[in-house]
Each structure stands twice: as structure tokens, then as C-alpha cells.
Amino acid sequence: MTGGERRRVLLFPGIGAVVPGSLGDCADPRAARALLERAAAPLPPATADALAQLLLAGRVSPAQDGLIDQLACYVQALAWHQVTPCPPGTLLLGHSLGELAAFAAAGVFEPADGVRLLLACDRARRETGVGQGRLLVLRLAADRAAGLLAASRLPGLAVACDNAPEQTVVSGPPASIEALGARAAAAGVRATRLPTRTLFHNPALRPAAHRVAELTAHLAYRPARRPVLCMLTGRRYRSAAGFRAGATHHLTEPVPFRRRIEQLRAAGVVELTELGPRTLLSRAAALTALTGGRPKE
């Protein structure tokens, strides 16, 4: 991305962005319902119904699993994209699972194909024996969070997201995340667990990522109608191979969100619109811009 080339970014958020009943409250509920019907076509009837109940009626099932949350995150972002102005030159950027929504919004694949990818990820997790996971938000810079992880010697932990100068997300198995949270609290570090039972952005998911590539080899990736910036590399996606790789970044790769905000700011981006009813990432981006990307002393 060159300075002055693109001045507006649409941000597709990931885990933690869903608000129950959000499609009923969006700017065009009828269009949102139609999108939901198209996207949910590959789902078993019970799963499609649970997804609709969550997004349209705000009903959360006591037995709701991680797959429903992921599907809701994907569809909600696409529904907000439908009603958000996207003039020529607008850049699309996905955070974590939001990359799949950005791909669909850019026309790389159909909304139902993104659902097929999420189903493949869910199946791959089960077939490769990946257990449950947790995400913990630490009020620490990423380098200090990495130091805390190394000192803890707890198994299976990884830095998942570097969101802001003092906001880092850690992924790992439940027992390790619980122990890390206790150690962080003892050290005076604020720690907040995100509402997920699914592992993301962790090297333990590499076998699952390879399996997803096998399960989705038949999916066609079309040239993007809108430019999509790769969160991991900071470069524009330009090939089917790149989009295929990006489709599993939410499984194994960390999210360098703070670095991308620094890059966009340096390139002259003046407007960042988060697609959804929450503004968690917008606030993280504002913190990065206010501090110039550097942690406070």
C-alpha cells in the first residue's frame, strides 16, 4: 500500500464482536435476513436455526457451541458491510476470523463458501484431536506479554493478537489460560477472558490447518473486486494461493493489528470503519494512533 493510494478502510472484526439480535437491529434487516439465508445454505437445519435465533431473535442456546459463534461473527460482519458505503479505492481488512468475511465481501468467494470453510475448520479440529481453547486479554505490550508467557512455562500458550500498545491477546488450553490469568493478577496485570471455548491463533492448530486445505481444495477463489490487505503480511492479497493461505490464518498465525494500524496511519488513511455493533477494535486502533504505536512508559 503506497502513501495516498487509499484513504478509507473497512475493518471486519473477529471473535468477541457478536451481539445477539444484531441482524434485527441493523440498518436493513430484510437484506440481512436474505444474506443469512444465502450464507446458511450449507448448514444442517438445526445449526442454521440456532444461528438465526442468535442473530435475529437474540436467543442464545445454553448448549451453544463455538461453531455458532464463529458463524455469527462471519454473517454479522457481512450484513454490516451490505449497508456501509464502500466507494472505489476502499481497502478491506479482516481481523482474525474477519478475514473470511473480508474475502466474501470482496467477491473472492460466495457467502456460503465462507460458511463451508468454517465447517471445514470445525471438522478439522475434531479430526486432529484439538481440545478446547481459551483467549485471555492482557493489559500488556506484546513483548512484555511474551516475556510473561516464557516465564510462566505453562504449556500450549501463544501470543494470538497484538491489538494495541497495552493490549495483547493470548491463546492456549483452558488450564494454562486459567493459570496465566492468576499469575497476571498476582503481578498486578489486568486480565480478561474472552467468551470462547475454541482455540485460535495457536501452533497446536497446524495439523488442523493442513486438513482444512485438503477439505477446501475444491473451493474456487475469484479475483477480488475490492482490495484486501493481508493482516499478517501487510501486503495486498493478489492470488488464489494467497487467499487459500489467508483462509487459515485465524487458526495458526498471530494477528499483528497494532502494526497494521501503524502502517495504515503512515500511508495516510484517515477513516477506519469497524463493521458491526461493537467498537472494540476501533478503540484499540485509536490507542495505537494516539501513542504512535508505542507502549506508554
pLDDT of residue 216: 86
The overall longest dimension of the chain from CA atoms, in Å, is: 53
Pick from 156, 158, 153, 116: nearest CA to 138 = 158
Provide the 3-class DSSP secondary structure of residue 49. helix
Q: What cell does 13 get?
A: 472484526
pLDDT of residue 15: 87
Pick from 233, 234, 251, 70: nearest CA to 158 = 251
Instruction: Decide if pLDDT at 61 tops 80.
Output: no
Q: Which residue has the cell 490507542?
A: 287
pLDDT of residue 296: 42
Per-residue pLDDT tens digits for 87-136: 888 999 999 999 999 999 999 999 999 999 999 999 999 999 998 999 99
Residues 66 and 15: their CA atoms lie apart, in Å, by 10
Position 108, amino acid: V
pLDDT of residue 63: 58
Pick from 29, 160, 162, 18: nearest CA to 101 = 18
Q: What cell does 111 get?
A: 457467502
Domains and CATH numbers, the chain: 8-129+202-291 (3.40.366.10), 134-193 (3.30.70.250)
Per-residue pLDDT tens digits for 93-103: 999 999 999 99
Give counts: helices (H), strands (E), the chain.
13, 8
Residues 148 and 180: their CA atoms lie apart, in Å, by 9
